[in-house]
Amino acid sequence: MSSTIPDLRQLRYFVAVAEEQHFGRAAARLSMTQPPLSQAIRALEETLGVELFARTRRSVELTAVGADLLPEVRRLIAAAEALRPLAQSLARGEAGALALSFVSTADYGLLPLLLRDFGARYPRVRLQLAEATSDVQVEELVAGRIDAGLVIGPLPPRHAAQLAYLPVVREPLVVAMPAALSTHAGGPADDDWSDAPVSLRELAEVPLVVFPRPLAPGFYDAIMDCYGAAGVAPRVGQEAIQMQTIVSLVSAGMGVALVPRSLRHLRRTGVVYRPLAQAVPSIETGLVWRTAEVSPVLAAFIGIVRAHAATVRAPSES
């Protein structure tokens, strides 16, 4: 018995003979003469160690083994023929996988826009999504466990040589406050969003619910800058690492929080979002990836993000 592996040519010959049930007709279909076709089928049978055809002088029929093998061979041929277009799609970034992490703030504004456009243009790419804080994303990127991340900028300087960073969108901070407190500060209690600005001076004695600084230094510092500009020292009451948790703590009356404006789409009973009366810094969300490893799929995603970076503004007040 031969120990070689059947080649695609032999498998195509097998299918032709099985479908024509005649060596002469199969040979004509394959644009070859009958003797080499017969030799190739004999060689295939020797390689597999089974008889595929029952031969007589007048006919050729599949054996039981040959009949059961035929659909499998057809699948093998189809898979082999799909390799070239698949390889071309992978090279163009039209197929493959992309592991993307994102901060929770991006989930309420930027991320849905990017996923919608990327999915429409590259529907064959498998996206692996995971929510994570900015510091965790940087660690995951450096370790090679994700391909890219949407983080709150800027990046830590120590990673500047390894990671590339693309600013995408900037948006102002707003106050998330308990509805009862909003009423006391001259705003509505029954709406999720109010255009009535509120001063941090009015909230000086209210505890602040905030993101821990080590997890997002830029975000934390922007919040502290807001209080500093208002001449108020914040009373940090609670810390939480998820925006959903921060807003839930506000809903429970544990304090107020300064959050990116897009987060007002995260609705919680008893929470009102209001703009700040004083000038406030903007929070920047950007895309980060390893400079040394840009796959075709990642390059395609970066292209989508670059387009948004030029056109996307902070979400509207609608």
pLDDT at 298: 93
Confidence of residue 286 (pLDDT cuts 50, 70, 90): very high
- Residue 191 sits in a domain whose CATH number is 3.40.190.10
Q: Which of 49, 76, 91 is the last residue of a domain?
A: 91
The pTM assigned to this predicted structure is 0.66
pLDDT at 165: 93
Bridge-based pairing of strands 208-210 and 271-275 is unpaired
| Long-range contacts, 31-37 (Cβ 8 Å, 24+) | 37/13
Residue 3 included in any domain: no
Distance CA 152, CA 146 (A): 17
Determine the structural domain holding residue 105 and report its residue range: 95-169+284-311
| Percent of the chain's residues with pLDDT above 70 | 91
Residue labelled with tokens 């057809």 = 74
Report which of 243, 254, 277, 287 is spatially closest to residue 115, judged by C-alpha positions.
287
Same domain flag for 165 and 184: no
User: Computed from CA positions of residues 224, 230, 235, 240, in that sequence, does the dihedral angle turn out positive or negative?
Assistant: negative
Question: Is the predicted pLDDT of residue 288 greater than 80, yes or no?
Answer: yes
pLDDT single digits (tens) 239-271: 888 888 888 999 998 999 999 888 888 888 888
Q: Which of 41, 64, 91 is the last residue of a domain?
A: 91
Would you say 286 and 164 are in contact if contact means Cβ atoms under 8 Å apart? no
pLDDT at 221: 87
pLDDT single digits (tens) 56-73: 777 789 999 989 999 999
CB atoms near residue 295 (< 10 Å):
15
Mean pLDDT of the chain: 85
Tokens representing 256 are: 């107020």
Give the residue, 95 or 240, on which the prediction is more confident: 240
Confidence of residue 304 (pLDDT cuts 50, 70, 90): very high
Would you say 198 and 277 are in contact if contact means Cβ atoms under 8 Å apart? yes
Same domain flag for 247 and 307: no
Same domain flag for 164 and 295: yes
Report which of 211, 275, 282, 221 is spatially closest to residue 246, judged by C-alpha positions.
211
Q: Which of 91, 114, 133 is the last residue of a domain?
A: 91
Residue 188 included in any domain: yes
Question: Is the predicted pLDDT of residue 188 greater than 80, yes or no?
Answer: no
Same domain flag for 39 and 82: yes
Query: C-alpha distances in angstroms, 95 versus 43, 123, 163, 288, 302?
Result: 37, 8, 24, 21, 15
Following CA atoms 250, 251, 253, 256 in sequence, which dihedral angle do they give, to the nearest 10 degrees? Answer: 20
